[in-house]
Amino acid sequence: MITKSEANAVVEQMPKKFNSHQFIKCYILCYTWSYLSILKEYKDVEIAHREIGKYLKKNDTKLGIKKIGLEPSENIFGNTDSIALWERAAHE
């Protein structure tokens, strides 16, 4: 599964507000081999992406992010889903 260091690195590249699909796209670009390992583990893209979303929710405080709602977003298959909208904590 995604590691805390990988997730932190991706969160740092996200805009102040971002959704789970944006996070996953950036994760795929930055950590292609890790992403492929996750796909191999779950054997289904949608389940793998759901697990990444669960990881964000479970580790939100550690990652310095907060779920602020839901928003419609097109997934990699072109289907619109209602997914988590996140906000990065302000750096001090």
Instruction: Give the span between the Cα atoms of 74 and 20, in whole angstroms.
Output: 11
Print the domain residue range for 11: 4-88
Q: Across the chain, which distance is largest between two alpha carbons, in Å?
A: 40
pTM of the model: 0.94
Give the count of beta carbons closer than 10 Å to the beta carbon of residue 23: 26
pLDDT tens track for 1-49: 999 999 999 999 999 999 999 999 999 999 999 999 999 999 999 999 9
DSSP 8-state assignment for residue 12? H
One-letter identity of residue 19: N
Give the count of beta carbons closer than 10 Å to the beta carbon of residue 63: 20
Instruction: Give the span between the Cα atoms of 47 and 54, in whole angstroms.
Output: 10
Domain count, the chain: 1
